[in-house]
Structures are given as structure tokens and as C-alpha cells.
Structure 1
Amino acid sequence: MSPFRFSLNASTIRTTPLLDKIRVTAEAGYEGIELWFDEVEQYLAEGGKLETISQALKDGGLAVPTMIMLRDWWSATEEEYPRVFQTCLDRIKLASQLGAEYVIACPHRDKNPDYELGAKRYRELLEAGIEASAKPAVEFLGFVADVTTIEDALRIVEKSGHPAATLVLDPFHVFRGGGSMETIAQLKPEQIAISHFNDAVDTLPRETQMDPDRVLPGDGHLDLVHYCRLLKQIGYEGWLSLELFREDLWQQDPLQVAQVGLERMQIVAEHA
């Protein structure tokens, strides 16, 4: 039996309306759904109620492992930072209202990031998140300028000096950033907020691949069984969350996409 819990990242069925996403995720058999702030904020701006979203989650028996994402917190200038921090805080509070345990804090996207500044600002966000009951987790992205590996995200986590600091894993970003899965063995399970889950092809140059090039587990060349074994070896028993950004999948029946994705993840986890 797999030690992991399975979640669907809402990006995988992006074009499906928000409440339908929640219904589909529950019907497909997932335990959780990752929600995107932009979708929730648009729903509320168009007259929807937060209580309606909460009830849909409750009816589906779904947890919200994370909400996505906090932007610019690391790269903002000193003049911009108070405004950016307030925007992040507003999103943290929104996530808390929906019961999310974590919010994903995206990395610095330019060259030569200041890690001392990033760690200081992350700690500030984390302390605000702990107070609000939705903790920021540091993400690395394989296709940004410099913060592209597990080691880069771990550097912020460790420099923050906070025992509740966490990062986000993702096999596609490990591959795309040129890092190694083996670094997972250096992590403590409590340092991982969530692991996104997907595969990558070897028919395109690694350096050119972007979000839409991710594929369903089993449709690429990544050794996802080994990836899960590494997670198991360090004692991680948290979330694997299917995260894809494919227009071909968005055009298909969302329930079928969600069901196939869950089956693929379960097969990988069972073989780990």
C-alpha cells in the first residue's frame, strides 16, 4: 500500500470551471486539490462566495494541500516590497479561509538572486503564514534564471533558520533545471510541503522544455519509481499532486483526465 496521499493540481484541468474542478477531483477519487489564487479571486470578483467553495470542498471530502502562488516576494525592490508583502499576506489569509495548509511561494526569476535577502523575506512570510494558519513553501522552477534545483530551494529553507520552513518538489523541474533526484536523500520529510508529480519527454532538448511540455506519468522518460523510492526512504508520507499544463488534456473530458492521472500515479507509487 502506498504511503502517499494523492492530489490534483487544478492546472491539470485548467479550463474547467472552479466548482466543477472540485466536483471532478472528488469524483475521480483524489483526497486533495491544489487551487490557484487567480481562479478563486476571479470567482469571487464575479460574485461567487467563499462559503460556496468551502462547501464544495467539504461535500467532496477534499483537503487543500496548497494554494498557488505568491509572486515577487523575493525579487521586489525595497520600495515595492511593502505592497508585495501585503498582497502575499492577503493571499495567505484567503488560503487559510479555505483550509489550505501551505501556499506556494515562487522563486526569484532573474539572475543573481540575493539568497540572504530571499531567506530573510521568506522567514517574514512564513511567520505571517504560521499566524494565519497557511504556511508559505519555497518553490524552485527548472526554467527560471538561477533558482532551478532542489539545492537552490533548500538554501533558502536552511538560511531562513526557521524550523517550519519547507520546499516544493517536482520531478519535471528537477530534470529541467539540470539537478538530480538523488538530492531528495538529503532532505528531511518535514522539509517537503508537497511533491508535484509529472513526467518529461526526451524528444525535446531539456533546456527548451516549458510547462506545456510536461506529460502524464509513464508517458516520459523520468524514473518516477526511483523518485518515489527516494521519498519513501526519507520517510515522506505526504502529497503527490498531478500538475500538468497541456492544452490537449484541457480539451478532453476532465473526469477522464483526472482518473487516468490518478491511476498513473498509483501505479508508480505501488512499484516504488
Structure 2
Amino acid sequence: MSNLNRRQVLKAIGLTAGAAVLSEAGATAAPIAPKTGNGFVYSLNMSTIRGHNLGFVKELEVAAKAGFTSVEIWIDTLQTYLQGGGSLTEAKKIIDGLGLKIEDAIGFAPWLVDDEATRKKGLEQLQQEMEILAKIGCHRIAAPPAGMTKGPVLDLDVITERYFTILKMGEQTGVMPQLEMWGGSQNLKHISQVLYVAVQCGNPNARILLDVFHVFKGQSAVESLNYVGHHALDIFHVNDYPAGISPEQISEPDRIYCGDGIAPLKQILQIVKNHERPLVISFEVFNKNYYAQDALTVAKTALAKMKAAAS
């Protein structure tokens, strides 16, 4: 980040160290807003009950019955609903009627790939998905390194340029892309990498999407979260993982309920907790054992264990 001076970096990522420097210089710190609850909004990522094959509407109903007021949906599930005769207007009414807020949508448009033709199609796909999501009141979409998980390894400045492009799309549609870190990917696998891109693009709307599982999988130090800054985080995926599996061997189905494994969850949540505005923590697992159980029971258990971990 040679072309960014220290002041710009501190401002961009909101380090507490920067605030300390200003304080020592005699600056008057802005008052901290009162806490809202315990500082978190609890959300259910529909991956958790995706294996139950309930469909878009029933997934929402299960989440609401379990006590969630926020959810992350999967775009392909919404599209299946629309292809089956549903409408965006009807979907919005159902969402509002259940008292739910769609915090984010999970999609895999190949916006980052090197092949120009594929990337062009990926950007067109992402544009269409953003326009659909805006109509149901969803203002965020995940932007993972889909299509680039096995390389080649891109220069971070190239990723920055491509992320900036989709940020501008987000500003036009009102659905902002969350730069998602995948610990098992050859690109964007470390906290430092997604943070670099968010800072370097120089756009105040840049956000990163992190995940307890991916922090472990990508072997980023938990302490690195101290350098992220609250401005960069709107959503944080939570889950846990069992003992005895190395980062190299652990896979998506190994994710488990919060508190049932060895992840340093309380430490992580203490670091990312924002006292000025609540952070959305969204439970995301792909556990086949949970898919074999009652979906409502799974969702209720997820919420209870999230609250326990955040207390």
C-alpha cells in the first residue's frame, strides 16, 4: 500500500490505534453511541437448512418461527421460486408479513475471473441479481472469489480494480457487494488480502465478509481481526469447528453449532463487536447431520447457541 499514507490507512480501516494517536494530540473524541442490546443482530443463513429442500417461502417461515428477524437468502433458491410462478412483489409481501429483514444474499457470479468473456457474463449476472434483490428489500450481496479458487493467484491490485467495478454497480442498484474471504481459495484466503482490497479501492462503501470457519481454514490469525475496523464489517458469519481436523483437511460439512467446537468464538465476537451500531452475525453451516433433523429444531438450536456464544 505504498501509495497510501499512514493517515489514510488508519482512517479507512478505523483502527483504534489511530484514535489513540488523535487523542494524544489533543483532539476531542466523538461520543460513543449507546449500545443496542448486546451489540449483535442474529441472522440465519439459509445454508443451515438448505439441505432440507424446503423452498424459498418455507425457509423464511422456519426462520421466523425459530425467532429470527434477519436472514441471508440464497439467490438460486429465490430464482427457483420465481421460475415456479412466484413474483418479486409476492416475495416482498411474504418477507414483510413474517417480520423478516433480508440482510444479504449468497450468490456466485464469476466477477473476478481472468477470462474476459466469462467475467463479462459474470458482471451481467451480478447486475441482474442486484436488480432482483433490490426489489425485495435486500441491500447486500456476497462477492466471493467464485471461479478463482484454484488460481491463478491474482495481483491484489487487479482484484481491487475488479472489486471497485462491482462496487459502482452496487451504488447504482442499491445492493452493495460484500467482498467475501474464502479460506480454501487461492485468491482472497487471508484477512490481510480482503482488507487490502477494501482499503486500496478507496471507496467508502467497501465492505468485507468474514467467517469463523474461513479464518481457521485460511490460517489467518484471530488477532488479525483487531486491524479490520468496524467500518469494514456489516456481516460476520459464525459457526464452530471440531477438534482434531487441520485447516488443510477441514471442509464445509465439518461446520457445527456455535459453542460445540474449539473455535475461539468469544474472543472473535469480542473483537468484532461494534458498540456504535449492531453487527449482523449470521449462522452458516452445511452440516449433513443437521439436514437429517427437523428444520425448525435446527434453526431454534442455532439461534440459542449463537446467543449463548455472544453473551
1:219-250 Cα deviation digits (max 9, x unpaired): 11011011111012675621000001011111
1:26 alignment partner in structure 2: 64
User: What CA RMSD, in Å, does the superposition of the two structures yield over aligned residues?
Assistant: 1.5
1:92-135 Cα deviation digits (max 9, x unpaired): 11111121121000123123123222111111111111111110
Return the alpha-carbon distance in structure 2 between the equivalents of residues 256 and 64 of structure 1. Answer: 21
Equivalent of 2:227, from 186, 189, 208? 186
1:158 alignment partner in structure 2: 199
Q: Which moved more, 1:222-231 or 1:104-113?
A: 104-113
Are the aligned partners of 1:172 and 1:214 in contact in 2 as well (CA < 8 Å)? Answer: yes
Residue 102 (structure 2) pairs with residue 64 (structure 1): yes
The unaligned stretches of length 5 or more in structure 1 are none
1:116 alignment partner in structure 2: 157
Runs ≥4 residues deviating over 4 A: 233-236
2:31 alignment partner in structure 1: none
SS of 2:116's partner is: coil
1:252 alignment partner in structure 2: 293
Residue 238 (structure 2) pairs with residue 220 (structure 1): no
Task: Classify 1:40/1:159 alpha carbon distance in 2 versus 1 (closer, same or farther; 3 Å).
Answer: same
Are the aligned partners of 1:199 and 1:215 in contact in 2 as well (CA < 8 Å)? Answer: yes
SS of 1:131's partner is: helix
SS of 1:8's partner is: strand
Return the alpha-carbon distance in structure 2 between the equivalents of residues 122 and 67 of structure 1. Answer: 17
The unaligned stretches of length 5 or more in structure 2 are 1-36
Return the alpha-carbon distance in structure 1 between the equivalents of residues 152 and 252 of structure 2. Answer: 20
Work out the number of aligned pairs and report it.
Answer: 270
Are the aligned partners of 1:211 and 1:245 in contact in 2 as well (CA < 8 Å)? Answer: yes
Shift in Å at residue 156 of structure 1?
1.5
Return the alpha-carbon distance in structure 1 between the equivalents of residues 230 and 204 of structure 2. Answer: 12
Instruction: Give the structure-1-normalised TM-score.
Output: 0.95
1:239 alignment partner in structure 2: 280
SS of 2:59's partner is: helix
Shift in Å at residue 36 of structure 1?
0.6
Equivalent of 1:12, from 36, 44, 48? 48
1:13-42 Cα deviation digits (max 9, x unpaired): 002221111011111111211011111111
2:90 alignment partner in structure 1: 52
SS of 1:75's partner is: coil
2:6 alignment partner in structure 1: none
Task: Classify 1:85/1:181 alpha carbon distance in 2 versus 1 (closer, same or farther; 3 Å).
Answer: same
Residue 136 (structure 2) pairs with residue 98 (structure 1): yes
Return the alpha-carbon distance in structure 1 between the equivalents of residues 288 and 108 of structure 2. Answer: 24
Q: Which moved more, 1:257-266 or 1:198-207?
A: 198-207
Counterpart of 2:100, as a letter, is L
Return the alpha-carbon distance in structure 2 between the equivalents of residues 111 and 180 of structure 1. Answer: 24
2:79 alignment partner in structure 1: 41
Return the alpha-carbon distance in structure 2 between the equivalents of residues 207 and 70 of structure 1. Answer: 23
Counterpart of 2:162, as a letter, is R
Return the alpha-carbon distance in structure 2 between the equivalents of residues 91 and 85 of structure 1. Answer: 10
Q: Which moved more, 1:69-78 or 1:115-124?
A: 69-78
Counterpart of 1:59, as a letter, is G
1:79 alignment partner in structure 2: 117
Q: Greater Rg, structure 1 or structure 2?
A: 2
